[in-house]
Amino acid sequence: MPADNGPREERVAGPLAGLKVLELARILAGPWAGQTLADLGADVVKVESPEGDDTRSWGPPFVPAADGGDLSAAYFHACNRGKRSVVADFTTEEGRALVRRLAANADVLIENFKVGGLAGYGLDYASLSEINPRLVYASITGFGQDGPYAARAGYDFLIQGMGGAMSVTGDPDGQPTKTGYAVADLFSGLYATIGILAALRRRDITGSGAWIDCALLDSQVAVLANQALNYLVSGEVPTRRGNAHPNIVPYEVFPAADGHVIIAVGNDGQFRRLCEAIGVPALGATELYATNALRVAHRATLVPAIAARTIALTRAELLAQLEAATVPAGPINDIGEVFADAQVRHRAMHADLPAPHARDGIIPGVRTPIAIDGTPMMHPAPSPRVGEHQRDVAEDPDWG
């Protein structure tokens, strides 16, 4: 049963205050877009099945509840902050009627069902735009609304493979490798958010809503960026280079006496300062390495020459010398070290949100990395329990 208790929540201020977003999305890409809009001040109502979003069970770890149970998996809390939850069973007329009523008063609807999946319920764009012509309706799918793959289900792992990302990620002698987080889903959520904001701006001018077609494969191909253009300009297919950069040298991981560091030289002046800092100024003056194009052409001799010097220094010594020389360099932090980092702490990227129903009274969060006029954009409310706001939303005059 929905956890329907508690008073009506006050909505937060923000640049999107007053915007009403109906989220019929689950897993990651759609909820990521919804959370971003909530952090910016929108009122996001998440419609869940009676069982709740799939990611509520994607643990461990789970957030411990004050009553001894749990408040869903950490995964769920990564992308559902600041939303209100209601339950609707689309297989019943009551559930469909609730969604239609909310959609009639919404500014934005986000869904990530399979192509045509909502049409059978009368909850597709064509049906809902008839009752709300101003509705901006964002559909996020694996492959888009048309094309030979449109009917397929899309998963981030598959998309990273199909979209070329894995072909340029990993050791040249090892397996193609995916990223350690769902980059296709996350970029799709952000592109959907951009599309939503653009459609709202257009609605300000025309008065009409829009249907946004956002595909994971499209998004993954789009963010191939320089790798895509390397191929399109040269005709040469990029390959896996491990930590080396296809277009810049030296720009990779180098050994130290007690581990590894990243050195990211972006111009000729930085290269010369690098060579001076590691005690080989003559290397920086060598004509063979005078420009980046030459360094790329001769990386096979240059990189080992630099590595032979860096390995004689500890990580701390090497990083200190490079910082003093204003050469871009840094450590390879694990995630625990990330949240202990002085800059990350200063920027308050980790923020605990008050949650009376949690065992410790809080649920951890990572804020959206947007600050406007010095104010970080992060909704102060944690992720909701299933159906927690059923009555709250039903009685909200803004939602009719």
Residues labelled catalytic? 185
- Which residues, in sequence order, are bridge partners of residue 65? 358
- Count Cα atoms within 13 angstroms, Cβ side, for 212: 31
Residues 6+ positions from 383 with CB-CB distance below 8 Å: 71, 72, 76, 77, 80, 81, 83, 363
Q: Let me know: does 358 contact 64? Beta carbons within 8 Å.
A: yes
DSSP codes joined into one string, 351-378: EEEE-TTBTTSEEEEE--S-EETTEE--
Beta strand pairing status for 136-141 and 210-215? Answer: parallel
Helix (H, G, I), strand (E, B) or coil at 255: strand
**Dihedral, CA atoms, 96, 98, 101, 104, nearest 10 degrees?**
-60
- Strand (E) or helix (H) holding 43: strand 43-48
The dihedral sign for the CA sequence 83, 204, 219, 152: positive
- Strand (E) or helix (H) holding 46: strand 43-48
Q: Let me know: does 279 contact 334? Beta carbons within 8 Å.
A: no
- Locate 314 and state its tokens: 């500890």
Nearest to 371 by CA among 349, 352, 341: 349
Q: Let me know: does 27 contact 53? Beta carbons within 8 Å.
A: yes
Nearest to 311 by CA among 354, 259, 272: 259
**Which letter does DSSP use for residue 117 in this model?**
T
